[in-house]
Amino acid sequence: MARHSVLGAVLVGALALAGCGGAKVGDTSSGATGDCGTFNLAINPWVGYEANAAVLAYVAEKELKCKVTKKELKEEVAWQGFGTGEVDAVVENWGHDDLRKKYIDEQKTAVSAGSTGVKGQIGWYVPPWLAKEHPDILDWNNLNKYADQFKTSESGDKGQLLDGDPSFVTNDEALVKNLNLNYKVVYGGSETALIQAFRQAEKDKKWVIGYFYSPQWLLNEIKLEKVKLPEYKAGCDADAEKIACDYPDYDLDKLVSKKFADANGPAYQLVKNFKWTNEDQNTVAKYIAEDKMKPEDAAKKWADANADKVKAWLPKA
Amino acid sequence: MVAVAAPRQLPRKPLIFAGIVLAWLVLWLVFRNVGTLALGAADLTPLHRWVNDVNDAVGASRNSNPVFLYFFNEIRLVIDEFVTFIQALIAQPSFGRPVPVIGWLGVVAIAGFVSLAVAGWRVALLAVAGFVFLGLQGLWQESMDTLSLTLAAVVISLLIGIPLGIWAGLSDRAHRILTPVLDFMQTMPTFVYLAPLTLFFLIGPASATIATLIYAAPPAIRITAHAIRTVPRTTVEASESLGATQKQTLVKVLLPSARKTIVLGINQTIMAALSMVTIAALIDAPGLGKTVVKALQTLDVGTAFNAGLAIVVLAIVLDRVTTAAASERRTLPRWALFGGLGVTGVCVYLSYTYLWAAEFQSDVEIGSAIRKGATAVTEWAQDSLPVITDGFKDFVTIVLINPLQALLAESPWFLVALVIVALSFMIGGVRPAIVSAVCIAALIATGLWQDSMITLASTLVATILVMLLGIVVGVWMGRSRRADRFIRPILDAAQVMPAFVYLVPFLALFSASRFTAIIAAVVFAAPVAIKIIADGIRAVSPATVEASTALGSSSWQTIVKVQLPMARGALTLAANQGLIYVLSMVVVGGLVGAGALGYDVVAGFSQGQLYGKGLAAGVAIVVLGVMLDRLTQAAAKRWTN
């Protein structure tokens, strides 16, 4: 009997609790409606990309009333998604000629949607303290002079050139060989490894030289200096084994699935019109990476301050 | 026979071993850097190109190929529906509601009640506390997404795994066929099949679930088979002699006797599934993994650690519940059963109806404190420790890694091949020698011989460190219950905390280097070795230990002369498992400077034109794993007999 009354008390108590209320599920209703439909936006894993995507998603949701589905994917997987219909747009692409050939020319599932206006640079960088104390290091001709300083446990008796983000093409092994540099390419293997190396190098005044790129959020925090390599001329990188020149400048562009482009809906128009500058992207990237804002908040902050730019992207009615 | 022959052979063996190694060293000096089969980072072999072409052809035919239309698509649909359904129940807004069907209160109540029913009061309390903790971390929805995906992967793993396990348990032939397949599934790096999976099953829950279950199903199959196989013959014979049919024997005798072990298999499957959370996030798997991956883009260790901790909490709760369920069968008293059901029902109803019970909102929020704490600790470590750690790294690199790597990777391939086959023959006889020879041929065929040797060198160093740690901490835990209780949760955490979280501070401490990769592998592999050795030490009969103490042996003598020799079965198992676990971290090592096979796999996942090479590197890792596994098993057999 006692047990039953315990049980009863529990139930009564619980029901009383239930009765005492609180807001009920479904009391407030919201939901976007519009003719935009669903917009599948790939999110590649770096902050600059995230900045582009956040602003686009924010505008698409707020101005065009799209339902934006963000999909976090590596580049190649995202491009595959064009064909399977799971991805509508990739909004910052670094070259990737192999993927272009495969998906635009051969499978015909992707089409270009123009430049983002952001210029990308790849190259060899050193921390600012090093560039200040030894300004001549910024010319590749002097690199051999300093090779000893760059020795690490991984590079043996040569200087270490830290490479590393496996997502991008690197010509560094060929460059080292063809420029007769007394360096060994060491594969850090991730952007994290590169950033950590540069951060420590600047903080503890350590000797580090490595592969890096701009725009990148770290450059807001540490102004890495680019080492001058022999100038890039069209075609100097034609034969991968004989490359002895700098990386080309990249015009970072946007890609969309063929279906998405053919449908020519408001979201496609937005993607196509979207164009801004390195400075704009750096601002949003800084909000996300350093001020730790959520991407959507960062996008809102930027969009509110740049209403005229946003307006220019909207489809002309 | 063996016992008689052994004393005569023993003194000769070490001499032969030493002779082989000496000959190797001499020939190394002569032939150094000849025939090392090196391949540059951007270079490909025809095999790698061919794999690329196959991959492209498959992708291009996706929309017309009937295999895709009627086979893969159907599988995808079913799995997608299943995962989405679980998500709708506990994780995602669904059925036109802004919140899931069952809110946090309901989930906590269900978790508590199920734990109570299968594992008792203490575990139930742990489960409730653990789940509430997830909410307080500010990660309720992410955790539930992860839980949904894990549950789905585990359920499907068991649906496939337990029948296969029973089959492999009953039939030797099935066992022989399945074992290499399972080896393959467990050691093939996930990065290799992640991108193709999205071709076959599209981007979404199905691909993530399948990626997870490829890795998580093998333990369920292996352990079920093992459980069936270890049911005493006499029990089975008794049943058969009583005229039971095969089916009756299986259902009435084999399965009930094997039940406890099978539940442990479920436990291992859950742990394996949780360890895939971050990697699956790379193909848009929902949940905590995404939080980790995203935080690491900005090296935000605090946020990554908070999410990693949530994975650890989930793992510990699920582990304790299943372990307790395996250890004893319990029946709840009626009143508790109905009372529990009632309370759970009310909680579920409340969480369905009221916002406060549906969405986890609390004034007490510990997530930001955890984030800040982790960030502070990391920054302190990064600022003050590198002075020591850098020197340590250089020391180990010069003394251990470099010499071993020089020997393996700078010798001509035929010399290394000869040495390995000779050593295999010495250790285990003809069969292991043949296995090693075949594996070496396979390594050469992948076109990545030198990379394989570099990876092998690091793997061996990591395994040595794992065994050192395993013996020291394992003996300590095996001898002291208190130490065991204190250390075990730390080991659990080290095993399931996503490696990505601690890689950032490790990179600061040891730079991007082979040593960093080795340390990451040790963190992951040592817990397994430690646990196995601790259990082995504890299993040494107390009477023997007491006898030794009574004879005046010191603690040191007891450990070295009695406990360790008697636990040598555990020691060899620990070495074997340690090796396999180290190998499974090769790819993670590639992210922090290990280069070689790990980097090949990572680059293959990231760049289309390197895909074939990445796949070949994955196969090379599997081959290394098979070779080392068979060798250690042969050595173990020798030593324990």
Q: What is the pLDDT of residues B362-418, one digit of tens each?
A: 777 888 899 999 989 988 888 888 888 888 888 999 889 999 998 898 888 889 999
Choose from A40, A75, A153, A257 for mutation: most chain B CBs within 10 A.
Answer: A153
Q: Is there a contact between B507 and A197 if contact means CB atoms under 8 Å apart?
A: yes
Contact B255, B167 (CB under 8 A): no
Q: Which residue of A has its CA nearest to B604?
A: A166
Contact B592, B506 (CB under 8 A): yes
Q: What is the pLDDT of residues B524-552, one digit of tens each?
A: 999 989 988 998 888 888 888 888 888 88
Contact A152, B513 (CB under 8 A): yes
Calculate mean pLDDT across residues B133-158: 93
Q: What is the pLDDT of residue A4?
A: 52
Note whether A2 contacts B: Cβ–Cβ < 8 A.
Answer: no
Note whether A196 contacts B: Cβ–Cβ < 8 A.
Answer: yes
Buried b (16+ CB within 10 A) or exposed e, A127-143: bebbbeeeeebbebeeb
Q: What is the pLDDT of residue A235?
A: 85
Query: Which residue among A23, A71, A174 sits closest to B354, beta carbon to beta carbon?
Result: A23
Closest CA to B526 of B460, B564, B588, B575: B575
Note whether B202 contacts A: Cβ–Cβ < 8 A.
Answer: yes
**Could you tell me what percent of chain A has a pLDDT over 90?**
51
Q: What average pLDDT does chain B have?
A: 87
Contact pairs from chain A to chain B, CB under 8 Å: 215
For chain B, how big is the Rg over CA atoms in Å? 26
Q: Is there a contact between B508 and A86 if contact means CB atoms under 8 Å apart?
A: no
For CATH 3.40.190.100, the residue range(s) in chain A are 121-242
Task: Report the C-alpha gap between B144 and B146 in whole angstroms.
Answer: 5
Residues 6+ apart with CB under 8 A from A78: A42, A44, A71, A87, A90
Q: What is the pLDDT of residue A33?
A: 44
Task: Report the C-alpha gap between A242 and A222 in whole angstroms.
Answer: 33
Q: What is the pLDDT of residues A276-297, one digit of tens each?
A: 999 999 999 999 988 889 999 9
Q: Is there a contact between B593 and A71 if contact means CB atoms under 8 Å apart?
A: no
Question: Chain A, 63-82: which have a CB under 8 Å from a chain B CB?
Answer: 71-77, 80-81
Closest CA to B199 of B388, B67, B315: B67
Q: Is there a contact between A190 and B592 if contact means CB atoms under 8 Å apart?
A: yes
Q: Which residue of A has its CA nearest to B289?
A: A72
Calculate mean pLDDT across residues B487-515: 87
- The answer on pLDDT for B68 being more than 80 is no
Contacts of B511 in chain A (CB under 8 A): 152-154, 197, 200
CB atoms within 10 A of CB A63: 18
Note whether B545 contacts A: Cβ–Cβ < 8 A.
Answer: no
Contact B513, B593 (CB under 8 A): yes
Note whether A20 contacts B: Cβ–Cβ < 8 A.
Answer: no
Could you tell me the two tokens for B80? 């997608």
Q: Is there a contact between B284 and A74 if contact means CB atoms under 8 Å apart?
A: no
Note whether A6 contacts B: Cβ–Cβ < 8 A.
Answer: yes
Q: Is there a contact between A45 and B297 if contact means CB atoms under 8 Å apart?
A: yes
- Looking at chain B, the number of H-run helices and the number of E-run strands are 35, 0
Calculate mean pLDDT across residues A129-154: 92
Q: Is there a contact between A185 and B609 if contact means CB atoms under 8 Å apart?
A: no
Q: Are strands A209-214 and A110-126 parallel, antiparallel or unpaired?
A: antiparallel
Calculate mean pLDDT across residues A220-227: 92
Query: Which residue among B356, B386, B590 sits closest to A22, beta carbon to beta carbon?
Result: B356
Q: How far is CA B370 from CA B134, B308, B366, in A?
A: 12, 11, 6
Q: What is the pLDDT of residues B449-490, one digit of tens each?
A: 999 999 999 999 999 999 999 999 999 998 888 998 899 889
Q: Is there a contact between B40 and A173 if contact means CB atoms under 8 Å apart?
A: yes
- The answer on pLDDT for B433 being more than 90 is yes
Calculate mean pLDDT across residues A243-264: 91
Task: Report the C-alpha gap between B165 and B174 in whole angstroms.
Answer: 9
Could you tell me the two tokens for B343? 């309370």
For CATH 1.10.3720.10, the residue range(s) in chain B are 65-381, 385-410+450-640
Q: Can you tell me which residue has the tokens 């193709």?
A: B196
Q: Is there a contact between A193 and B593 if contact means CB atoms under 8 Å apart?
A: yes
- Judged by DSSP in three states, A252 sits in strand
- Judged by DSSP in three states, A292 sits in coil
- The answer on pLDDT for A83 being more than 60 is yes
| Predicted ipTM > 0.85 | no
Q: What is the pLDDT of residue B388?
A: 86
Bridge partners of A126, per DSSP, are A225
Closest CA to B423 of B398, B448, B460, B387: B460
Q: Is 1.10.3720.10 the CATH number for B65-381?
A: yes
Q: Where does residue B222 rank: exposed (0-12), middle (13-18), buried (19+ CB within 10 A)?
A: buried
The CATH code of the domain at B385-410+450-640 is 1.10.3720.10
Task: Report the C-alpha gap between B3 and B23 in whole angstroms.
Answer: 30
- Judged by DSSP in three states, A190 sits in coil
Note whether A221 contacts B: Cβ–Cβ < 8 A.
Answer: no
For CATH 3.40.190.10, the residue range(s) in chain A are 38-119+250-313
Contacts of B194 in chain A (CB under 8 A): 77
Residues 6+ apart with CB under 8 A from B74: none
Residues 6+ apart with CB under 8 A from B438: none
Q: Is there a contact between B97 and A25 if contact means CB atoms under 8 Å apart?
A: yes
Task: Report the C-alpha gap between B450 and B411 in whole angstroms.
Answer: 9
Query: Which residue among A71, A189, A289 sits closest to B602, beta carbon to beta carbon?
Result: A189
Task: Report the C-alpha gap between B552 and B600 in whole angstroms.
Answer: 56
Note whether A204 contacts B: Cβ–Cβ < 8 A.
Answer: yes
Note whether B557 contacts A: Cβ–Cβ < 8 A.
Answer: no
Task: Report the C-alpha gap between B279 and B285 in whole angstroms.
Answer: 9
Q: Is there a contact between A22 and B354 if contact means CB atoms under 8 Å apart?
A: yes
Task: Report the C-alpha gap between B321 and B342 in whole angstroms.
Answer: 21
Calculate mean pLDDT across residues B84-88: 92
Contacts of B93 in chain A (CB under 8 A): none
Q: Is there a contact between A196 and B98 if contact means CB atoms under 8 Å apart?
A: no
- The answer on pLDDT for B37 being more than 70 is yes
Note whether B62 contacts A: Cβ–Cβ < 8 A.
Answer: yes
Q: What is the pLDDT of residues A86-123, one digit of tens each?
A: 899 999 998 888 888 889 998 889 999 999 999 999 99
Could you tell me the two tokens for B413? 């391939």
Q: What is the pLDDT of residue A21?
A: 55
A146, amino acid identity: Y
Residues 6+ apart with CB under 8 A from A132: none
Note whether B282 contacts A: Cβ–Cβ < 8 A.
Answer: yes
Three state DSSP letters for B507-530: HHHHCCCHHHHHHHHHHHHHHHHH
- The answer on pLDDT for B259 being more than 60 is yes
Contact B622, B586 (CB under 8 A): no
Residue A26: pLDDT band (50, 70, 90) is low
Task: Report the C-alpha gap between B530 and B512 in whole angstroms.
Answer: 27
Contacts of A169 in chain B (CB under 8 A): 607
Q: Where does residue A31 rank: exposed (0-12), middle (13-18), buried (19+ CB within 10 A)?
A: exposed
- Judged by DSSP in three states, A202 sits in helix
- The answer on pLDDT for B260 being more than 50 is yes
Residues 6+ apart with CB under 8 A from A91: A41, A42, A49, A52, A53, A56, A116, A254, A271, A274
Residue B24: pLDDT band (50, 70, 90) is confident
CB atoms within 10 A of CB A180: 9
A198, amino acid identity: F
- The answer on pLDDT for B11 being more than 70 is no
- The answer on pLDDT for B625 being more than 80 is yes
Q: Which residue of B has its CA nearest to A41?
A: B284
Question: Chain A, 276-305: which have a CB under 8 Å from a chain B CB?
Answer: 288-290, 292
Closest CA to B475 of B525, B526, B524, B538: B538
Contacts of B602 in chain A (CB under 8 A): 166, 189-190
Could you tell me the two tokens for B301? 């260790």
Q: Which fold has domain A121-242?
A: D-Maltodextrin-Binding Protein; domain 2 (3.40.190)
Contacts of A173 in chain B (CB under 8 A): 40-42
Task: Report the C-alpha gap between B127 and A270 in whole angstroms.
Answer: 48
Polymer length in residues for chain B: 641
Contacts of B394 in chain A (CB under 8 A): 153
The CA distance from B519 to the nearest CA of chain A, in Å, is: 15
Question: Chain A, 245-274: which have a CB under 8 Å from a chain B CB?
Answer: none
The torsion of the CA quartet A201, A205, A209, A213, rounded to 10 degrees, works out to 50
Q: What is the pLDDT of residues B557-578, one digit of tens each?
A: 888 888 888 888 888 888 888 8
Residues 6+ apart with CB under 8 A from B457: B401, B404, B405, B407, B408, B409
Could you tell me the two tokens for B335? 């009143």
Give the CATH H-level superfamily of domain A38-119+250-313.
Periplasmic binding protein-like II (3.40.190.10)
> Dihedral of CA B289/B292/B295/B298: which sign?
negative
Task: Report the C-alpha gap between B356 and A17 in whole angstroms.
Answer: 12
Cα distance from N-terminal residue to C-terminal residue, chain A:
75
B187 compared with A55, residue with greater pLDDT: A55
Q: Which residue of A has its CA nearest to B384?
A: A204
Q: Is there a contact between B595 and A83 if contact means CB atoms under 8 Å apart?
A: no
Closest CA to B632 of B584, B574, B582: B574
Q: What is the pLDDT of residue B318?
A: 92
Query: Which residue among B198, B507, B602 sits closest to A196, beta carbon to beta carbon?
Result: B507
Q: Is there a contact between A192 and B591 if contact means CB atoms under 8 Å apart?
A: yes
Q: Is there a contact between A10 and B343 if contact means CB atoms under 8 Å apart?
A: yes
The CA distance from B200 to the nearest CA of chain A, in Å, is: 10
- Judged by DSSP in three states, B531 sits in helix
Angle (CA) A219 B599 B308, round 5°: 70
Note whether B204 contacts A: Cβ–Cβ < 8 A.
Answer: yes
Polymer length in residues for chain A: 317
Buried b (16+ CB within 10 A) or exposed e, B275-301: bbbbbbbbbbbbbbbbbbbbbbbbbbb
Q: What is the pLDDT of residue A9?
A: 52
